[in-house]
Homo-oligomer: A and B are copies of this chain.
Amino acid sequence: MIFEKITSKGIASNSYFVASKGEAFVVDPRRDIDVYLALLQENDAKLVAIFDTHRNEDFVNGSPELANSTGAIIYHGNKLAFKYGTSVKEGDVFKIGDMNINILETPGHTPESISIIIKNSAHPDYPFMVFTGDTLFAGDVGRIDFYRNTKKQLEAAGWLHDSLFNKLLKLGDHTIVLPAHGEGSICGGGISGIPFTTIGYEKKTNPKLLLSKEEFISFKSTEKFEIAPHMTVLEKFNLEGPPILAGLIQPPSLSVKEVKQFIAQGAQIIDVREPESFAGGHIPNTISIWKNGLPTYALWLLSYDKPIVLIKSTHQDIEQSVRYLIRLGFDNIIGYLRGFREWYMNGEEISKTDIWSVHELYRNIDYDNIFILDVRTSRSIADSGKIKGSHHVFLGELSQRLAEIPMDKKICVYCDSGFKAKAGASMLIKNGYKNVASVFGSMTAWKNAGYPIE
């Protein structure tokens, strides 16, 4: 049995490739499918099934792309009217190589969520591994606030409890659990950083599984997180089937002149370099989203309607950024500047934004003319506390809530580690704020430096 976990950084999304005796299946593939095609070739295997544990809302489903390239059949749950693929139901059995594959319906996170059990055909009585999708994670359970409906959420809390306690936990302590997300996903903030887990380990250590049924339902039915506005776009893609790319997009390099033309035409110019590079110098009025922030924040900060131009550091940045963007359905990437160097060599205007160390912030904090802006998620503030006197506007909502931020003060933006802060700072400057700094290391460095938290 060949087993590979393929993790998509940023959204911390896991897909899985499993093969036995020349037959393979994939669970929850991403849209840049070259990794699966390479595994098929290396292992001389034929793809016979693609399982979607549920309709994902945080990335574009890669199953149609993979099915288009391989002819494999897509299987998903039956409680949603997908416009592609084939529905399965509880108790369905597949025989792939030496493995028996059993389907378990595990609604909660979504109504059509399924879990997929592998049993070794030599020991058909004992579940060996289970792909739990967004139902059970290492250290957490799935979000159910995407229903955006209090009553529905209450109902879903019951489903989720049933799926967990009456189905998954009953597979036995020995069963290896393979969830659709790892640490850092927006689909469950408490996910731990371990690579695999087991039913037994979760029963002992997962705080949600230690709650009574009443506590569990009460907690989950009222839990609320930020929901990116574009998730509805992804939900539509994944219900109806996204456009087929048939290969990775390779945007052309652009000259300074071309970039200036695209700026004039309203393109979104996204600078994917590190915050300190952006701080040191950048094209005026561009948005900073560090490369590994794209998987999470492109959904909040980019528009599907305007073409995208990338500003990069190394040429590897482009391929990675393109992967991140197409996983979210941002396919309209019209090119990238050959290098920021081209820009300044050409004698063009440069902007700079300051980044304060936490010590600078601390030394300046009591000044009347400093407005301290916290752009983290509510959950992060709840978990880690905040700097006294700071004002909270989540990065994803910043462009809608500019009225709350004074034009006449120095704005000092912080977040968890300084990356989102730089993105926020770039958005403020693009909107006319003159005096903006972000904070190196932000709350993490602040704590490590021993400064007070509220």
* Chain multiplicity (copies): 4
Judge if A93 is at the interface, Cβ distance under 8 Å.
no
A22 partner residues in chain B, CB cutoff 8 A: 253, 255, 338, 342
Judge if A417 is at the interface, Cβ distance under 8 Å.
yes
User: A196 to B347, alpha carbons, bound, how many Å?
Assistant: 32
User: A78 to B78, alpha carbons, bound, how many Å?
Assistant: 58
Residue of B with least CB distance to A446: B347
Partner of A445, one of B173, B193, B345: B345
Partner of A194, one of B44, B46, B128: B128
Partner of A174, one of B2, B123, B173, B254: B173
**Which residues of chain A in 117-152 are interfacial with respect to chain B, using CB atoms and an 8 Å cutoff?**
120, 122-123, 125-126, 128
User: A340 to B444, alpha carbons, bound, how many Å?
Assistant: 14
With A128-B201, A340-B276, A440-B344 as known contacts, state yes or no: A173 contacts B176, CB within 8 Å.
no
Which of A84-92, A310-318, A424-432 forms part of the interface with chain B?
A310-318
Judge if A350 is at the interface, Cβ distance under 8 Å.
yes
Instruction: For the complex formed, measure the closest distance between the CB of A339 and the CB atoms of chain B, giving whole angstroms.
Output: 6
With A201-B128, A280-B276 as known contacts, state yes or no: A1 contacts B319, CB within 8 Å.
no
Q: Could you name 21 residue pairs across A and B whose Cβ atoms are closer than 8 Å?
A: A1-B193, A1-B194, A22-B342, A40-B252, A42-B315, A47-B252, A172-B204, A173-B198, A174-B199, A174-B204, A200-B200, A247-B247, A274-B277, A276-B277, A276-B280, A344-B441, A347-B445, A347-B446, A347-B449, A349-B359, A352-B354
Judge if A158 is at the interface, Cβ distance under 8 Å.
no
Residue from A192, A273, A350 with most neighbouring chain B CB atoms (10 Å): A350
With A274-B341, A275-B280, A276-B279 already in contact, 5 other A-B pairs whose C-beta atoms are closer than 8 Å? A70-B250, A126-B201, A200-B200, A349-B357, A349-B359
A45 partner residues in chain B, CB cutoff 8 A: 253, 338
A277 partner residues in chain B, CB cutoff 8 A: 273-274, 276-277, 280
Interface size class, chain A: 35 or more
Instruction: For the complex formed, measure the closest distance between the CB of A81 and the CB atoms of chain B, giving whole angstroms.
Output: 30
Residues of A with Cβ closer than 8 Å to B? 1-3, 20, 22, 37, 40-42, 44-47, 69-71, 98, 120, 122-123, 125-126, 128, 172-176, 192-196, 198-205, 246-247, 250, 252-255, 273-282, 313-316, 318-319, 338-342, 344-347, 349-350, 352, 354-355, 357-359, 417-418, 440-441, 444-450
A349 partner residues in chain B, CB cutoff 8 A: 357, 359
A319 partner residues in chain B, CB cutoff 8 A: 41
Residue of B with least CB distance to A319: B41
With A255-B22, A355-B281, A357-B344 as known contacts, state yes or no: A205 contacts B175, CB within 8 Å.
no
With A198-B174, A441-B347 as known contacts, state yes or no: A44 contacts B339, CB within 8 Å.
yes
A205 partner residues in chain B, CB cutoff 8 A: 120, 122-123, 126
Partner of A172, one of B173, B338, B342, B346: B173
